[in-house]
Structure 1
Amino acid sequence: MERTRMPVDERTRSAQQLRAYLDGLGVPVAGFVREAQVYRHLSAQGLTLFDVRPPQVVREAQWQPLLDWVDAR
């Protein structure tokens, strides 16, 4: 199955519309992850945010709500 990646700024109207649409389908939304160059750089090296020291990715703290959601499941 091909994964689809669609960057969405959660503060925008489009994010609100996307959330409403997915809610209507019964698809849970765990959160939004912003578009960032760090993801491209890490993936080019075969790494994830969790493979590098925290100070290098401190701005990517928006992952915590997603991790909490996964842990709760």
Structure 2
Amino acid sequence: MKIWLDDMRPAPEGFVWCRSVNEAKRLIHRAIEPIPLVDCDHDLATTPAMAAMGSNFWTGWQKPGNFCLSVFTQ
């Protein structure tokens, strides 16, 4: 499962769309299958709505296993 984290743009094919940091954290913690990639919007913490949804972007992302964290700009 690949995660697309963006509050406005829909996920491309093959990704699960999470619209908030907290939604992505819940999905990561509940995931049974491997998560090879979390693709994140570049302005997650710059908008008040997104900042309020996850006050500390990294807190709570710890989970056994590894995944690539990518940031996209467009």
Normalised by the length of structure 2, the TM-score is 0.28
Which of the pair has the greater relative contact order for Cα pairs under 8 Å at 6+ separation? 2
Normalised by the length of structure 1, the TM-score is 0.28
Larger Rg: 1
Which has the larger helix fraction? Answer: 1
